[in-house]
Structure 1
Amino acid sequence: MNIFKFEFKRQFKSLIIWSIVCSALVIMFMALFPSMKDMGMQELVGDKLGAMPSTLLEAFNIDEMMDFSNIKDYMGYCLQYIVMAAGIYGLILGASALSKEEKDGTIEFLYSKPITRNKIVTSKLLASIVIIFIFIFIIGLVTMAIGIIVKPEDIKTIDLLMDIKIMYIGMAMLSYTFMSIGFLLSMIIKARTNVTAVALGVFFASYFVGVLGKLKESFEWLIYFSPTDYFIPAKIFKDGFELRYVIVATVLILVSIVGTYIIYNKKDLG
C-alpha cells in the first residue's frame, strides 16, 4: 500500500482550497497598493498609526517608520497575515495526518498490511512536506505576478522577486515548524478530539504569547514560544533572517519529529 500517495490524495482538496483562498487574499491586498501612493491616503494611515502607542505597534509588527507607499513596507505588513495562514495550515495538516485513521477507525486496516509504524509516520510526513511546498509555491508565484503588475517603475523587477522569494522561504520555514508541532500534538490529543479546533487554539495561544513578549521588555523571552515571530515578513525584507530564530525553528522541527516517531511507536493504537 502506497501511504504517501493515499495521504497526498486525502490532503489534495484542502491544498486547493487553501491555495485559492490565500492567493485571492494576496491579490486583494496587493490590488490596494496603488491607492496607498495617494498623498491623502498616506496622511490618513500615518495619522491613525501615529495615534497608537509605539509598543502596541511593535506588538503587531508595525514599524513607526513604515511607509505604506513603499511596496516592500506594504507587502511586509500585508503578507504577515498570509504567513499566519500558512502557519495555521501547517499546524492543521500535521495534527490531522496521524490522527485521521484513529478518528475514523481505519487504523486497524493499516496494521493489517505489512507496514511498520515508522513507515506510516515517514510516508505521512513526506506527503505533508510536499503539500506545504506546493502551497507555498503557488501563492509565491501569485505574489510575484501581482507584485510585478503593481510595482512602481523605479523598483527593479529582479530585486522585488528576490525579496519575495526570501520572504516565502521564511514562510515555508514557519509552516514546516508548525507542521512538525502538529505531528507531535496529534500524539498527545485524544483521537476523537476536534483537531482543527485544537490546532487553532495552539496557534493563537502562541501568537498572543508573542504579542505579550513584545509589549514588555521583561517578557521578551516569551517570543521564543511564538514561532509566528520567527519569520516576520517586514523584518525579513529589512534585515533578513535572524540566526537565533532559524536555529530555534530547526530545533523545534527536529524535536517534534523525533518525538512523534518515539511516541507513535509506543502508542496503543489498537
Structure 2
Amino acid sequence: MTLFRLECKTHIKTLLIWIIVVGLLTLGLVSLFPAMKDMGLQQMDLKSMPKEMLKAFNLSDMGLLATIKGYFGYEYQYVMIATGIFAAMLGTNALSREESEGTISYLYAQPISRISIIGQKMLANSILYTLYWIVSMAVAFLVCLIFKESGASVSNLFKAFSQLTFAGWVMGLTFLAVGFLLSSLLSSNKSATSLSLGLVFLTFILGVVGKLKEDFQALVYFSPVDAALPSAVFKNGIEWNYIVTDLIVICISCLLALWIYRRKDLKV
C-alpha cells in the first residue's frame, strides 16, 4: 500500500486548502441569511420571467428563501459546482501526473502491477474526496444551525443534510471516475485543470438546458450536479433515477480507465 500512502500524502495539502476555503465560503454565504431574510427578497416579483428560466436556476419559489433550507439550497448549488471541479481535478491528475512528472519509472521499479496502480490511486482519491465532502457537510450543517430561523426543526434539517451528503458524495465520485477515465487517456497533466473545469461546466449547462425545455429533459441525466442540487434534495428528497445513472457512469468509467491503462504505452 506504499502507493496509496504516497497518493494521500501528495494531496493532503490541497485537501486542507479546499476544506478551509469551502468552509469559509459556506460561513460567509449562510451568515448573510438573516439580513437577506429581513430584506424580504422572497417577495420580489418574478412574474415577468419565464417559468422555465426560474426552474433552470432553482428560483421557482422565492418564498423558500425566507427559510434556512431554501436559502442554503439556492446558495450552495455554486459550492456544489466547485466540489465537482475538485473531484474532477483529483481524477484527471491521478494517472497522467506520473507520466508528466517522470515518476512512472519509480513505480515500474516497484513490484506492482498496473491494476494495483490504478486500484490504489482510485481508492486513495476516493477517500480524499470523501473526507473533503464529510467535513464540508458537517461545517455547512453547523453553520445552518447557528443562523437558522426561529422555529426551524433541527431534526428535519438533519434529515435533509443526510440526504444531501449522500447525493453529493455520489456526484463527486461521478466526476472523480470520469476524471480517471480522462487521465488514463492523457500523457500529461498540463491540461487537467482546464479539462476539469470544462467537464463540470459542460455538464452543468446541459442540466440547465434540460430544464429549460421539456424536449431536452433527457440532458439532465448528463448533469451529475443536478442529482445533488441542494434545493431539489431538500424539497423532493433523493432522486434515485439520477443516482442510479451516476452509479452506472462510475462503474463504466472505472472499468474503461482500467482497460485503457493496462494497454497504454506509458512514457517512461
Query: What TM-score range do you get, normalising by the shorter chain?
Result: over 0.9
Q: How does 1:95-134 map to 2 (within 5 A)?
A: 95-134=92-131
- Residue 244 of structure 1 is matched in structure 2 by 241
State the alpha-carbon separation in 2 of the partners of residues 108 and 211 from structure 1.
44
Q: How does 1:182-261 map to 2 (within 5 A)?
A: 182-191=179-188, 193-261=190-258
Is residue 141 from structure 1 mapped to residue 143 from structure 2 by the alignment?
Answer: no
Counterpart contact for 1:35–1:41, Cα < 8 Å: no
Is residue 90 from structure 1 mapped to residue 87 from structure 2 by the alignment?
Answer: yes
State the alpha-carbon separation in 1 of the partners of residues 177 and 263 from structure 2.
19
Compared CA separation, residues 76 and 192, structure 1 to 2 (3 A): closer
Counterpart contact for 1:180–1:257, Cα < 8 Å: yes
The DSSP-based 3-state class of the residue aligned with 2:64 is coil
- Residue 5 of structure 1 is matched in structure 2 by 5
State the alpha-carbon separation in 2 of the partners of residues 218 and 190 from structure 1.
39
User: Once the 2 structures are TM-superposed, how far is the Cα of residue 159 of structure 1 from its aligned partner?
Assistant: 2.2
State, as a whole percentage, how many aligned pairs show the same letter.
37
Q: Name which of 138, 159, 164 aligns with 1:162.
A: 159
Is residue 62 from structure 1 mapped to residue 62 from structure 2 by the alignment?
Answer: no
Give the CA RMSD over aligned residues: 1.5
Residue-pair matches, total = 267
Counterpart contact for 2:160–2:234, Cα < 8 Å: yes
Structure 1 stretches of 4+ moved >3 Å: 39-43
Partner letter of residue 161 of structure 2? I
Structure 1 spans left out of the alignment, 5+ residues = none
- Residue 24 of structure 1 is matched in structure 2 by 24
Partner letter of residue 257 of structure 1? C
State the alpha-carbon separation in 1 of the partners of residues 135 and 193 from structure 2.
23
Counterpart contact for 1:54–1:64, Cα < 8 Å: no
- Residue 14 of structure 2 is matched in structure 1 by 14
Counterpart contact for 2:67–2:148, Cα < 8 Å: no
State the alpha-carbon separation in 2 of the partners of residues 117 and 6 from structure 1.
16
Q: TM-score, normalised by structure 2?
A: 0.94
User: Once the 2 structures are TM-superposed, how far is the Cα of residue 189 of structure 1 from its aligned partner?
Assistant: 3.1
State the alpha-carbon separation in 2 of the partners of residues 101 and 171 from structure 1.
29
More displaced 10-residue stretch of structure 1: 159-168 or 197-206:
159-168
Counterpart contact for 2:41–2:62, Cα < 8 Å: no
User: Once the 2 structures are TM-superposed, how far is the Cα of residue 39 of structure 1 from its aligned partner?
Assistant: 5.0
Counterpart contact for 2:40–2:66, Cα < 8 Å: no
The DSSP-based 3-state class of the residue aligned with 2:66 is coil
User: Once the 2 structures are TM-superposed, how far is the Cα of residue 40 of structure 1 from its aligned partner?
Assistant: 4.2
Counterpart contact for 1:50–1:64, Cα < 8 Å: no
State the alpha-carbon separation in 2 of the partners of residues 237 and 33 from structure 1.
17
State the alpha-carbon separation in 2 of the partners of residues 12 and 40 from structure 1.
42
The DSSP-based 3-state class of the residue aligned with 2:76 is helix
Deviations 1:171-223 (A, max 9, x none): 11100110001000112234254210111112111111221111111111111
- Residue 76 of structure 2 is matched in structure 1 by 79
State the alpha-carbon separation in 1 of the partners of residues 205 and 185 from structure 2.
22
State the alpha-carbon separation in 2 of the partners of residues 14 and 54 from structure 1.
40
Compared CA separation, residues 54 and 138, structure 1 to 2 (3 A): same
Compared CA separation, residues 204 and 150, structure 1 to 2 (3 A): same
User: Once the 2 structures are TM-superposed, how far is the Cα of residue 37 of structure 1 from its aligned partner?
Assistant: 2.5
Q: TM-score, normalised by structure 1?
A: 0.94
Compared CA separation, residues 64 and 162, structure 1 to 2 (3 A): closer
User: Once the 2 structures are TM-superposed, how far is the Cα of residue 34 of structure 1 from its aligned partner?
Assistant: 0.8
More displaced 10-residue stretch of structure 1: 217-226 or 91-100:
217-226
User: Once the 2 structures are TM-superposed, how far is the Cα of residue 26 of structure 1 from its aligned partner?
Assistant: 0.7
Structure 2 spans left out of the alignment, 5+ residues = none
Counterpart contact for 1:170–1:231, Cα < 8 Å: yes
Counterpart contact for 1:91–1:181, Cα < 8 Å: yes
